[in-house]
Each structure stands twice: as C-alpha cells, then as structure tokens.
Amino acid sequence: MELEFARLRGLGNDFIFIDDRPCAIELTVEQVACLCDRHVGIGADGVVLVRPPAIPAARPYALH
C-alpha cells in the first residue's frame, strides 16, 4: 500500500498526517506501530488520519 503523508514536528513530538478525506484508509494497530517505528518505519509518536467531520454541521475553525 502506498500512502502520501506529511510528518510534522513540534515541541518534541512528531506525527504522521495522512489525507483520508474519502475515508478509504483503515490502518491496523500493527500498521500504525510499523509506521511509527523509528528503526524500520517513518518514525513518529502517532498517526493522524485527516477526515471530514463526523457531524455534517461542524465547520473547521481558523485562528485569526
């Protein structure tokens, strides 16, 4: 499986962000652990799947 991702760091933590707006990606615990492994994977503290809001009326909030 090929995934496009971004690895973002801040304040000592890093996360793998994956665009999953179609809600087509289902990762197992083992796959997440492999992605986060710093020796054999990308290396991160966790994985974030970016998906649309579960509540249709919810809107993104932007700081100004």
Tens of pLDDT, residue by residue over 24-62, are 999 999 999 999 999 999 999 999 999 988 887 777 676
Domain ranges of the chain: 5-50
Three-state secondary structure call for residue 33: helix
Predicted TM-score (pTM) of the model is: 0.81
What is the reported pLDDT for 64?
Answer: 67
More confident position, 59 or 7: 7
